[in-house]
């Protein structure tokens, strides 16, 4: 028996998984028993190749082999392989560790043969994606919305069994109650037998004498379903809420899919959001900026009084701590930032004009080196 798996496959010790897979395909084809009927040497060689592949294609086993050699695999010599051959060729079901092996042959003959009929067993329901637009306030404070979604749901009439209530169950004639259908197909390597869940009974081995009159045996029907979605306070634009099991219903006992709600938050006329912070602008009169004043500021939660100190410059930003949006995880809120814009009066009365001129004189407005009418007036 093979004492060096790498040599058997003709690869080096640092071969990648891909190298090993490729080398294995080549060797398996070369020594396949259907090409060497009655040739004991070829049969042994084929066994060695498979044994080597079984170990080297498995990360854990390969590591173990590199460390301890084939002794680590309980007797070596085609261990998981007894009875692998039969008169008709090759029966994968008797092949321990068939997973990797069968997979390779599936890719070999990809598409040509019968598809794997997994779809006949329990089927998981598909996920559903839903887009939802929220107002600025709903996103900030959280809310609950009810969606109406048209989707496959479990059939109530038969309680998702697919059988008309009261009808008897009988042994499936297609698979004779085994729940499995075996197909033998011709390949270039000879006949190959594969087993798949029975399409008639979905692997149950029994069928219902009468199918459900509502879902016709499909176990689910399409219907509008109302789904409540809790929107947590602080949810932001482009976030997604996952509702486990609220997608399409599974069929034949399979689990439900999930519902993904993608959130779009509408802009607000008043507030600009940045993460959990809120930004607004407040316009004040030149005189309020010069003399100082108390102004009213609308925050998300309530109206507050903001003290504008005398001499406030246009563009100054005031921070209202924890007056922003509630944070999704953890406690606290973001802040509210108020940017002050000082408005210069664009239309003034004659009297105001005189007062401004007087003010200019009082302020000893520097007009040095400047030309202009103000110079003449002061």
User: Footprint of Zn ion on this chain (CB under 5 A)?
Assistant: 155, 157-158, 172, 174-175, 198, 200-201, 212, 214-215
In terms of CB distance, is 215 or 263 closer to Zn ion?
Answer: 215
CA separation for the pair 355, 32 (Å, rounded):
108
What six digits make up the tokens of 31? 């020594």
What six digits make up the tokens of 375? 């110079």
Least distance (Å) from Zn ion to the CB of residue 185? 20
Least distance (Å) from Zn ion to the CB of residue 222? 12
Least distance (Å) from Zn ion to the CB of residue 251? 11
SS3 257: coil
Least distance (Å) from Zn ion to the CB of residue 172? 3
In terms of CB distance, is 172 or 263 closer to Zn ion?
Answer: 172
Q: What does each C-alpha distance from 59 to 17, 19, 66, 189, 354 come to in angstroms? A: 9, 14, 11, 28, 91
Least distance (Å) from Zn ion to the CB of residue 249? 11
In terms of CB distance, is 71 or 170 closer to Zn ion?
Answer: 170
In terms of CB distance, is 2 or 212 closer to Zn ion?
Answer: 212
For tokens 């085609």, the residue is: 78
Residue 346 pairs with which residues in a beta bridge? Answer: none
What would the DSSP string read from start to end of 49-100?
HHHHHHHHTSHHHHHHHHHHGGGGGTT-SSGGGTT-EETTEEEGGGSTTHHH
Least distance (Å) from Zn ion to the CB of residue 125? 15
In terms of CB distance, is 117 or 301 closer to Zn ion?
Answer: 117
Least distance (Å) from Zn ion to the CB of residue 248? 16
Closest C-alpha among 125, 73, 91 to residue 254: 125
Least distance (Å) from Zn ion to the CB of residue 20? 38
Least distance (Å) from Zn ion to the CB of residue 175? 3
CA separation for the pair 256, 157 (Å, rounded):
18
In terms of CB distance, is 192 or 215 closer to Zn ion?
Answer: 215
CA separation for the pair 315, 285 (Å, rounded):
13
In terms of CB distance, is 176 or 237 closer to Zn ion?
Answer: 176
In terms of CB distance, is 225 or 258 closer to Zn ion?
Answer: 225
**Strand boundaries in the chain, DSSP class E:** 85-86, 89-91, 128-134, 143-154, 169-171, 180-187, 190-197, 206-208, 220-231, 240-243, 259-265, 272-274, 277-285, 293-298, 303-308, 317-320, 336-343
Rg (CA), the chain: 39
In terms of CB distance, is 201 or 338 closer to Zn ion?
Answer: 201
């Amino acid at each position: 028996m093979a004492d060096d798996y790498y040599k058997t496959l003709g690869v080096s010790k640092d071969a990648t998984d891909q190298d090993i897979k490729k080398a294995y395909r080549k060797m398996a084809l070369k020594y396949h028993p259907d090409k060497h009927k009655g040739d004991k040497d070829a049969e042994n060689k084929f066994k060695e190749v498979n044994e080597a592949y079984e170990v080297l294609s498995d990360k854990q086993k390969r590591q173990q082999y590199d460390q301890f050699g084939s002794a680590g695999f309980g007797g070596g010599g085609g261990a998981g392989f007894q009875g692998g051959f039969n008169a008709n060729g090759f029966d994968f079901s008797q092949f321990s560790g068939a997973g990797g092996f069968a997979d390779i042959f599936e890719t070999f003959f990809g598409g040509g043969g019968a598809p794997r009929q997994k779809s006949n067993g329990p089927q998981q329901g598909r996920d559903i994606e839903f887009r939802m637009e929220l107002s600025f306030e709903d996103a900030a404070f959280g809310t609950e919305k009810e969606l109406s979604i048209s989707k496959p749901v479990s059939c109530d009439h038969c309680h998702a069994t697919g059988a008309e209530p009261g009808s008897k169950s009988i042994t499936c004639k297609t698979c004779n109650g085994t729940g499995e259908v075996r197909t033998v197909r011709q390949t270039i390597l000879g006949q190959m037998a594969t087993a798949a869940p029975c399409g008639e009974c979905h692997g149950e081995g029994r069928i219902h004498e009468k199918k459900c009159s509502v879902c016709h045996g499909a176990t689910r029907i399409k219907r509008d379903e109302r789904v409540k979605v809790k929107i947590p306070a602080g949810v932001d634009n482009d976030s997604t809420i996952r509702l486990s099991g609220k997608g399409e219903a599974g069929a034949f006992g399979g689990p439900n899919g999930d519902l993904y709600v993608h959130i779009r938050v509408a802009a607000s006329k008043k507030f600009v959001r940045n993460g959990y912070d809120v930004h607004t602008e407040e316009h004040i009169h030149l005189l309020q900026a010069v003399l100082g004043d108390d102004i009213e500021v609308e925050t998300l939660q309530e109206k507050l009084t903001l003290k504008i100190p005398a001499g406030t410059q246009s563009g100054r930003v005031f921070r209202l701590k924890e007056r922003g949006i509630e944070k999704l995880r953890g406690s606290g809120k973001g802040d509210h930032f108020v940017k002050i814009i000082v408005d210069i009066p664009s239309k003034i009365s004659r009297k105001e004009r005189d007062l401004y001129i007087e003010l200019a004189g009082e302020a000893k407005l520097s007009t040095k080196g400047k030309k202009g009418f103000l110079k003449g007036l002061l």
